[in-house]
Structure 1
Amino acid sequence: MKRHGHLVAAAVGTVLAAVSSQAQAQDRPLTPDFPEVYRVGGLAAEDWAQFTSPGAMGFDGSGNLYILDEAAFQVIVLDTSGELVRTVGRKGEGPGEFQRPGDLVVWRDGTFAVPDAGHNAFQIFGTDGALEHFVRMSAEQSPFAMDPAGLSLRPGPRTGEVYRQGQPDVLGQVFGVLGPLLGGEVSTSGVDHRGLERLELGGEVVVAEPVVEAWQLPREKSTGELTLNDLANESRATDAIVGMMTDATMYFEPDLHWDALPDGSIAFSDSSAYQVKLVAADGSPSGMLRRPHEPEPVTGQIRSRMIERALRDFEGQLDGTDEEDLARAPNLPDAFREGLESREFFHEVPVVRQVRAGWSGTLWVQRRGDEPWDDDGPIDVFGADREYVGTFPAGATEIPPAFGPDGLVAFWELDELDVPSIVVKRLPEALR
């Protein structure tokens, strides 16, 4: 019996190795030979290029690059050679000033928008950098709808059009309790973190329209509800919030990875399989991209290693936490440890970890790495015709944070002191 067990294990290992080799053999290797156009930043940079941390950035149709420096409360605009065009904004409460800037949306005509949670509004700036108008969130969208923690934005094909991913349910529950306490209203509209909506920013108030409702793992709703009384009691508040966060997601539960294409269609992955779904601007299905890479079943060993890793990461974060903050919530560390140890697992490890659209409609899809929790695996590139172009091996490059015209792409780089710089390069024709 023991001998048969070894034979079965060997046979299974041989089959898995053959399948893995076959999938890798179908990868058409790409090399990141992208010529550098310019770089800015670093220790010796001018004041405007002393970036505090990597932030959101985007190109306009002329190749100008816009960078949001949240800590400096400004947007920096560079021309195609990396020279400063202008800086926009400063810290303050007035029009054109920023309180809590959370993201940056750049349209192709050079108009750009900054969502500001402090103003509870989008600030829209014209091509000359002057403030054009505010677009406020409606009462139905709650005073917390601009919070950066729940925000994920992409520009639409028309100026003033934005695609947005909704907030996680757990944030909605917490904000639903805090809203009335702070004089706001509870939001009953909009999409959650598994949905996408189109925002129209042409008027005085944001108009939202759902466009995608992604697959969501069926689960029982938590029987407990967070109340103001819970928040008044540190122990109950800790248990309630940690419990909600633990119930909200499983280890390896598939995330929603998505991007908006130049024509307004959406590409997204919402399952553990290698399936990138395409929907038209009206939300109707228009296709699907697949590659021969299968999700890995979650074994007992993977479970143990994942929990150990999660606990180790948490302890590392705890070491950097202010002692006064810990003293205000002494039960929190143990509650989080218990939550990490008891959190459930999805039954397999998702393949897709990132989906991004290039300037001309290419799609870049990043797969998992060697370890189940490794998000930095190989990157597959599909042309605007949806044909497979090739694959960058793991570690060869990252997906560019910003794509521009004529193959321009922008990357953040950190030196040995973690000082950020921006490097702009140019892609070959097939990858644009």
Structure 2
Amino acid sequence: MRAPPTLLTTCILTLAACGCDAGSTGPDAEDRPLAADFPEVYRAGGSDAPDWAQFTRRGPVSFDGSGNLYVLDPFASQVVVIDPEGQLAGTIGQAGEGPGEFRFPYHLAVWRDGRLAVSDIARGTIHVFGPGGDFDRSVGAGTLPELIRPDPSADALYAQGSSGGGDEIDDYSIGRIDLSGDDVVSDLVLRAWRAPREDPPGEVSADDFLDSSGNVSAARMLMMGRALEGVFFEPTLRWDILPDGRVAYADSSAYAIKIVTPGGPEAEVLLRPIPPAAVTGGLRSAAIEREIDRYTELLEDQGGMPDEFREGIEERGFYPEVAVIRELKSTWQGGLWIRRPGEEPWDDEGPIDVFGPNRQYLGTLAAGTATMPDAFGPDGLVAYWEVDELDVPTIVVKRLTEELR
């Protein structure tokens, strides 16, 4: 399936401007190897960790401008703040119904000055805290977004799937959530391309993740139903916010990253001549088998997988190509890390292309030598989650070399 016409047009113009044609293999056609030797700064967590670092799961993490790391632990209902030396700087929030307390915190956004926002799906609110962790206010959000990023220059968030004002903003759109009032005001700033379907699936809101008693375990079954309506290998919206407030995103199977001012025209398109892989019959069979195995395990304690569920997986549609871009993240200084698929489309150990703040291609971290950081911070700090053989999580902070910052 082709990329949207507007993207193809932009790509051709960009290639022409640099003296290339659409079929050429420029200097970036082959990977330029980069070393993945990042020295470790500290680690927190694991089975022998102090009480404050006994994380219940791998939650969202983010740095502030001083190098403090904020770790959201949803099942402990708190944010743990770790200083640049790896010591506890404090905790924010606790379980409860009072001001600044959490029922089920889900997403985290941290501004460089130390302000932070935490979405609470059980309360339908976004809690805002000032620098130092003092509670500021809660903003009623109704249906909460799937992913949030701080607006670098305002009291607002950018969000994927946010819908405080209706259904206009979905999983293929980015909205801006104004946090300055008592209730969320959400405006559409970007609508990405989506592969056309004869019967588009319905959207599942964050409110639907809860049953009448507030039990979040209902989410698993709802997400399963949603998975049955999906299309294997359909390109998703992959995006991040740059330090200057622009959005970098990919929405097709091509290696094309569009960089835009929210609400404005496309400013530039970042390309590499790496084509998407075709979906073969063997890959179709492997994808179906993998999905059946995954849900068989999930449903093992609930009476097994119904025949209708298995048939639904086997009858799901397929996008004809595997997207070249698996994940996209902005660095602290505005560079981009782009992860491609590994040997298998679902492999998380694929190569990572590194681009500098000026969009120059710096090179590629080979598959298996590095994973995408969970957070980028100042002075080259990056944070990763690791788990041991018992799935006990540890947060590991490393420092990038000057070449990769």
* Alignment TM class, shorter chain as reference: 0.7 to 0.9
Equivalence for 2:146? 151
Q: 2:159 pairs with 161, 164, 170, which one?
A: 164
The whole-number CA distance in structure 1 between the counterparts of 2:340 and 2:264 is 25
Larger radius of gyration: 1
Say whether the 8 Å CA contact 1:263–1:281 is kept in structure 2. Answer: no
Q: Which moved more, 1:339-348 or 1:292-301?
A: 292-301
AA aligned opposite 1:166: G
Alignment of 1:429 with 2:402, yes or no, is yes
Alignment of 1:362 with 2:338, yes or no, is no
AA aligned opposite 2:245: G
The whole-number CA distance in structure 2 between the counterparts of 1:412 and 1:393 is 19
Say whether the 8 Å CA contact 2:165–2:186 is kept in structure 1. Answer: no
Equivalence for 1:307? 288
Say whether the 8 Å CA contact 2:100–2:138 is kept in structure 1. Answer: no
Say whether the 8 Å CA contact 1:107–1:159 is kept in structure 2. Answer: no
**Alpha-carbon spacing, 1:99–1:222, altered in 2? closer, same or farther (3 Å):** same
- TM superposition shift of 1:116: 0.8
The whole-number CA distance in structure 2 between the counterparts of 1:302 and 1:43 is 39
Q: 1:266 pairs with 247, 250, 267, which one?
A: 247
Say whether the 8 Å CA contact 1:356–1:365 is kept in structure 2. Answer: yes
- 3-state SS of paired residue (1:205): coil
Equivalence for 1:76? 80
Equivalence for 2:297? 316
**Alpha-carbon spacing, 1:291–1:335, altered in 2? closer, same or farther (3 Å):** same
Q: Which moved more, 1:93-102 or 1:295-304?
A: 295-304
**Alpha-carbon spacing, 1:356–1:288, altered in 2? closer, same or farther (3 Å):** same
Equivalence for 1:209? 187
- 3-state SS of paired residue (1:309): helix
Say whether the 8 Å CA contact 2:329–2:336 is kept in structure 1. Answer: yes
- 3-state SS of paired residue (1:316): helix
Alignment of 1:410 with 2:383, yes or no, is yes
- 3-state SS of paired residue (1:193): coil
**Alpha-carbon spacing, 1:346–1:422, altered in 2? closer, same or farther (3 Å):** same
- TM superposition shift of 1:382: 0.5
> What does 1:381-420 correspond to in 2, within 5 Å?
381-420=354-393
Q: How many matched pairs?
A: 367
Equivalence for 1:96? 100
Say whether the 8 Å CA contact 1:401–1:410 is kept in structure 2. Answer: yes
Structure 2, unaligned runs of 5 or more: 1-22, 205-221
Structure 1, unaligned runs of 5 or more: 1-18, 138-142, 173-185, 227-239, 327-331
TM-score by length of 1: 0.79
- 3-state SS of paired residue (2:295): helix
Equivalence for 1:229? none
AA aligned opposite 1:337: R
**Alpha-carbon spacing, 1:359–1:244, altered in 2? closer, same or farther (3 Å):** closer
- 3-state SS of paired residue (1:71): helix
- 3-state SS of paired residue (1:38): strand
**Alpha-carbon spacing, 1:358–1:306, altered in 2? closer, same or farther (3 Å):** same
> What does 1:341-360 correspond to in 2, within 5 Å?
341-360=314-333
- TM superposition shift of 1:367: 0.4
1:4-49 superposed Cα distances (whole Å, 9 cap, x missing partner): xxxxxxxxxxxxxxx9x99997111111111111111111211111
Equivalence for 1:15? none
The whole-number CA distance in structure 1 between the counterparts of 2:391 and 2:196 is 42
TM-score by length of 2: 0.84
The whole-number CA distance in structure 2 between the counterparts of 1:223 and 1:134 is 32
- 3-state SS of paired residue (1:103): strand
- TM superposition shift of 1:390: 0.6
Q: Which moved more, 1:288-297 or 1:65-74?
A: 288-297
Say whether the 8 Å CA contact 1:23–1:292 is kept in structure 2. Answer: no
Q: 1:336 pairs with 282, 301, 309, which one?
A: 309
**Alpha-carbon spacing, 1:158–1:315, altered in 2? closer, same or farther (3 Å):** same
